[in-house]
Each structure stands twice: as C-alpha cells, then as structure tokens.
Amino acid sequence: MQQGFIIPVYNHGNTLESVVSSLAGYKLPIIVVDDGNKKADKVYINLVAQKYSNVTVLRNKFNRGKGYSVCKAIKAAHKMGITHLFQIDADGQHDCAQCDLFLQKSKENPDALICGYPNFDETIPENRKSGRQISNNYAAFVTQTENYIIDAMCGYRIYPVEPFYKICRFAYIDSHMGFDTEILVRFIWKNVPVIYLPVNVSYPVGGKSNFRMVRDNIRISFMFARMTIGMWLRYPMLLKRKKRMQSESKSADK
C-alpha cells in the first residue's frame, strides 16, 4: 500500500502551507492541484512546492472545480503508484491532527472508502447544517440505504485509487460542489464499503467560501437528477442489497 494526500486549491493559497506543514511528518506524497488560481494564490502554491520536496503540483489553466481537480489527481496518483489518496481541503477547516486514525483505518481496510463526518463547533453557519441534511437524505434515497450515510459532503476522505480511477474513466462526475456527494454515491453503487470516522471542523473567522448560492445549487440539483436516473437503472440490484442489509441488521439485533 502506498498512501498519499490530495489538496485541491482555489482561493485558499494563503492557508495551504499550514495544511501541508501539518502533513509533512507523514513523509507521504502530496498532490496539490492549482485550480486556475489568480496570481497571488499561485505565489503561495509555488512557495509551498519549493519548500516541500514531497509536493507535486498539478495545474488547471482555469478554474475547473473541486471534482475535476480531484479526478485529475486520481489519474496522476494511479500513474505514480499511489494506491490510497487522502483528500483534504486547503482552507484549514479540518483537523489534520486526526490523520493518524484515518490512515491507520485505511491500512486495516484497504478496500474501503474512509469517510469523515464532521464534528462542527459553534462557527458553522446554520444554512450549511440544513443543506448537509438535505444532501444526506437524498444520497440515502438514490443508494436505497437506511442509516448508512452519516455525511455525504465532508471533503476529508481516503479513497482507494483503483475503483475511483475506473469511475473517472467511465462516468461523468460533477466537477464542482456536487462532487463529494456524487462520488460517495458512486462508490456505494460499486459496493465499495464505507467506514465513517469523526473529524473536527471549524469555520475560520474571515475565511473564504467558494460556494455560490445560485450557481452551485443549480448544479447540485442537476447532479441529483442524474443520480435519480442512475438509481432507477440500478434499482433491482439496489433493492436486493437493501433487503440483504435489512436482514443482516435484524440478525445482528437478535
């Protein structure tokens, strides 16, 4: 197993070094994706690449979105021989001190997607909470699962590269804010086991958000429309699995 990190960066160049420095002790490859940043953020990215020898920078000519950037990194990781890629956001919201637990859990369960679910502090905006619950409910619907999806939007995850690489080759994936939810759904459709672990999340004062209310909600709506069609195409298989999971749950309760 060869683990590594992926950090997509857009408008958060000034917090990138703090995230990378917190990961330096692991001595693992770090793929940073410059998602079409402006000059000031590019300067920060270049300084980090010069300072840390284990950092590889991939560049998008213009802003292509988080989903596009992570898929690009997965393809690069596949070529580099990285088998498991740990996605962490560049804005510093996630507690990188918890990486040890995630990396160890991935080693113990190499076939699984290790997915963070957030422990929010008091800094989370209320509209973020409600939006997450809507996405969680819809993701549960299109995967026909019950009490399985704890959080569909957290960007703190370790992906097994091989199944992700195959998904990237053969499926269209939302390139922006719908990415985290869609790729989770597609992993569940592929019967990849998902293991959830808590991660502390805070929203820094004065932090920048790349979420655009109208544009991104429209994109997310289209994403869920595509996922609904995908669900119906897979419905016999999903229904069979749902019944099996319910049966296993009842057996475990006895």
Full-model pTM = 0.87
Residue 73 contacts residue 159 (beta carbons within 8 Å): no
d(CA 112, CA 97): 21
d(CA 113, CA 105): 10
Q: What percent of the chain has pLDDT over 70?
A: 87
How confident is the model over 117-158, as pLDDT tens digits? 888 766 555 555 566 788 899 999 999 998 889 999 888 999
At 98, list the tokens. Answer: 């918890």
At 82, list the tokens. Answer: 């990285």
Residue 26 contacts residue 102 (beta carbons within 8 Å): no
- Among candidate residues 153, 123, 121, 125, the one with its CA nearest the CA of residue 137: 153
How confident is the model over 184-197, as pLDDT tens digits? 999 999 999 999 99
Give the CATH class of 3-253: alpha beta
Q: Give the sign of the dihedral formed by CA 193, CA 129, CA 176, CA 77.
A: negative
Distances 247 to 7, 136, 141, 195 between C-alpha atoms, Å: 40, 23, 19, 20
Residues found in the chain = 254
The confidence score (pLDDT) of residue 209 equals: 57
How confident is the model over 156-173, as pLDDT tens digits? 999 999 999 999 888 888
The confidence score (pLDDT) of residue 76 equals: 96
